[in-house]
Structure formats: C-alpha cells, structure tokens
C-alpha cells in the first residue's frame, strides 16, 4: 500500500504551537493517521486509498489563515524506512521509558526500553497521544490482566502491556501494514505473548478485557465506544487518546451514554488521554 504525505506550511507567529495543533486536529478528522512537526510546517500521512483530495482542498479553502501552502506526494513503501531513519530520534517518557529504533546507539538504561521500527504505522512515542498513553500505563497494575490494544499501529502499547506482565494481550488494527509491523516489533522486543489480528470492532464479539487501550482519532473513537463498553470487564479500565482538548466534552458525553465515567486524565500540548470506568 502506498501512502500520501502532505506538507502544510503556515506563517510563524506567537501562537505557532497552537496553529500546528489545530492543523493536526483538522487533518485527523480527514483520516490522516500520523504526523511530524517541523519549523512552521506539519507533515501528515494517510493510506492512498483513504486520501480524499477534494476534502483536503475544501479544508484548505475553509481555513486560509492556517494553510499558507500544501504540498502532496506519494510515498512508496520502500521509502518509509529511510524517511524514519532520517527523522526518528529516540523518545523518553517520564524519565522511565525510552523508545528507540534498531539503528540508534547509546540507548539510555531506563526502566523500560522499547525498540520500534515504525514502517507505515503510527506509534513511536513522539506524538503527544502515544506519550500520554504510555505515561498513564506506567504505574497501572497490568500484571495478570487481559489487555486489548485497539488500533495498535506499531504495537507499542501492546508491547508495553506485555512487558508489564499482562496475562493476555490482543492487538488489533484495520491496516495490513500495522498488522505486519506490530508483529515485527513484538519479535524485535522478544515479546511472544501478543496476539495480533487485522480487522475492526467486529472481532471483539464475545470477548472481555480488564484494560482496553485505544489511541485512535476522535471520530473512530466515538463510533467504537459501544463496542468497548460491551467488552469491558467489571472494574475494568478503558484508556483512550487521540483527540484534542476541545473534543474532550464530546468524548465524555459519548462515554456517559455508554455507561462509562471519566476518572482521570492527562493533558499535553492540548492533547488528552483519559481513563473511563463503569458508572
């Protein structure tokens, strides 16, 4: 599968960070899966089969104050590794986790070391949502728990759950690249207890989990809440991210509609990660 990369440049001002976050949020609503920020620019990636050029043009025309220019190019699968090797530094989370790639050297001796080669998949620890998800998992007792990583991307959250001695871990992603990449990263970290499936919420029928992890964009998350509520075990936790601070009230309302209450959340650069439990 080929990917589309778009580069959105914007005019620098005192609210540069806020501008980039707004652009990322708007593009996530169009289905873009991963993002990289540079000086006065945001790069965004989406499978070519999901790319809607007309919708992107409408967005650009609707927000001329945000988008100074937008460049689009197709990325072949074989180019992805080179792209990440040239732009992928190590990521440290809460001073206890380091996420690194196989080509990195001088890896710090932190409590948890996770090796990730992203291929075409989202989840390296650099984006605020992945970082927040990992941070919330740090002091969570996962030992002996049944864990679901829905929309697993690189498999980073599933791998971390296995490192923290989860009893079982099921990782699911609708994208074939993510399915293959998650399997590769599990092997890279000597993790053999994660089951990886390709598909959507239909795979959850009849299953039950003590911890559900879902770092997906807002629209998918809202649509999947009923499935999560149905397979969340008694006293279980649904941990979610992938949405902007302004979307939090809508997320809370949909959770409440499905019998769940928000109990804790973290915020980083206007991105949110939160825990939900049964009312």
pLDDT, tens digit (0-9, with 9 covering 90-100), for 199-256:
999 999 999 999 999 998 888 899 999 999 999 999 999 999 988 898 999 999 999 9
Annotated domain spans of the chain: 3-75, 137-278
Q: What is the pLDDT of residue 28?
A: 87
How does the average pLDDT of the chain come out, rounded?
A: 89
Q: What is the pLDDT of residue 35?
A: 79
Give SS3 for 88.
Answer: coil
For residues 217 and 32, give the distance between their C-alpha atoms in angstroms, rounded to a whole number: 9
For residues 39 and 239, give the distance between their C-alpha atoms in angstroms, rounded to a whole number: 32
For residues 214 and 212, give the distance between their C-alpha atoms in angstroms, rounded to a whole number: 7
Q: What is the pLDDT of residue 264?
A: 96
Q: Which CATH topology does 3-75 take?
A: Alpha-Beta Plaits (3.30.70)
By the 8 A CB rule, do 196 and 174 touch?
no
For residues 156 and 129, give the distance between their C-alpha atoms in angstroms, rounded to a whole number: 12
Q: Which CATH topology does 137-278 take?
A: Rossmann fold (3.40.50)
Q: What is the pLDDT of residue 56?
A: 93
pTM for the structure as a whole: 0.76
Residue 201: name the closest of 185, 179, 223, 233 by CA: 223
The four Cα atoms 15, 18, 23, 25 give a dihedral, to 10 degrees, of -170
Residue 6: name the closest of 70, 86, 96, 94 by CA: 70
Beta strands in 174-270 (DSSP E): 194-198, 209-215, 232-244, 260-268
């Amino acid at each position: 599968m080929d990917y589309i990369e778009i580069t959105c440049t914007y005019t620098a001002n005192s609210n540069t960070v806020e501008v980039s976050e707004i652009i990322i949020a708007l593009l996530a609503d169009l289905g873009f899966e991963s993002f990289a920020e540079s000086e006065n620019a945001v790069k965004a990636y989406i499978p070519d089969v999901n790319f809607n050029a007309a919708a992107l043009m409408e967005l650009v025309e609707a927000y001329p104050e945000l988008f100074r220019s937008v460049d689009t190019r197709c990325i072949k699968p074989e180019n992805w590794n080179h792209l990440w090797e040239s732009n992928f530094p190590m990521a440290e989370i809460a001073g206890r986790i380091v996420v690194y790639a196989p080509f990195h050297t001088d890896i710090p001796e932190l409590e948890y070391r996770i090796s990730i080669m992203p291929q075409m998949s989202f989840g390296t620890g650099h984006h605020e949502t992945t970082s927040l998800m990992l941070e919330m998992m740090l002091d969570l007792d996962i030992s002996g728990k049944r864990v679901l990583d829905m929309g697993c991307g690189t498999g980073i959250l599933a791998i971390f759950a296995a490192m923290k001695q989860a009893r079982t871990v099921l990782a699911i992603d609708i994208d074939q690249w993510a399915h293959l990449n998650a399997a590769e990263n599990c092997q890279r970290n000597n993790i053999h207890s994660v089951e990886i499936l390709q598909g959507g919420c239909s795979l959850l029928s009849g299953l039950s989990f003590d911890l559900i992890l879902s770092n997906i964009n807002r629209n998918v998350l809202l649509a999947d809440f009923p499935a999560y509520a149905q397979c969340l075990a008694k006293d279980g936790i649904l941990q979610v991210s992938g949405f902007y601070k302004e979307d939090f009230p809508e997320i809370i309302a949909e959770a409440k509609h499905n019998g769940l209450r928000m109990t804790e959340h973290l915020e980083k650069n206007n991105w949110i990660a939160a825990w939900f439990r049964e009312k």
